[in-house]
A and B are shown apart, each in its own frame.
Chain A
């Protein structure tokens, strides 16, 4: 069973608007969450993280929200730019040094 789910395989957004990427997890014991961005033919790069003691973390245009009761986190990108077009993965620390990733959401920002 997938412990980390990204139910939207793809998302298209107009330049300048908000992009919202969603991620659900199954285990309430998970307490550290990360988002990664991946361009074609490159390795994933770290974007932003959040600990379960917080419900929001911001870094420039990127904000991650955590809803522990719903076991849901989201990544907001405002304003979206064409260079943000990439595949976004959410990940969790799943215990004993392991990081588990979701299936990814392909974001396309239209100019």
Chain B
């Protein structure tokens, strides 16, 4: 199994509070991703990183920011959480891209915003 750790695994917070989810990898993979999973929507890409300090937006990036200051860590921040951000968040990593890569996923972080 790919070495991916997400923390926290479960969090309940209140509307308007900041939240940071952490993804830590031990595989030294270049590419890292944050997805959210919601019923009826499948997995939607929030942000991704293609190198240290190199990040870009995905399909549903509004209300989220990310940072990657070192290869192994990719942080997802909700500056002011809203109830619509209640979801299960998955981090994924990939060693390569273009017809050879596959994503390895973490176990998920369940966030509830009251």
Contacts and interface: CB of A to CB of B under 8 A. Distances in A.
Please say whether chains A and B are actual partners in one complex: yes
Interface string A86-99: 00010101001111
Nearest to A99: B103
Contact of A101 (B31, B43, B48, B50): B43
Interface residues of A, number: 26
Interface in B7-56: 31, 33, 35, 40-45, 48, 50, 56
Contact of A104 (B31, B42, B50, B108): B42
B72 interface: no
Contacts of A100: 45, 59
B90 interface: yes
Contacts of B98: 32, 93
B84 interface: no
B32 to A, nearest CB: 10
Given A93-B98, A93-B99, A97-B31, A42 B107 contact: yes
Interface in A6-21: 6, 9
A101 B92 CA distance: 13
A51 B107 contact: no
A43 B4 CA distance: 11
Contact of B99 (A41, A45, A51, A98): A51
Nearest to A5: B42
B58 interface: yes
B64 interface: no
A3 to B, nearest CB: 9
Contacts of B92: 43, 99
Contacts of A93: 97-99, 101
B102 A34 contact: yes
Given A97-B50, A98-B48, A103 B41 contact: yes
B45 A43 contact: no
A101 B42 contact: yes
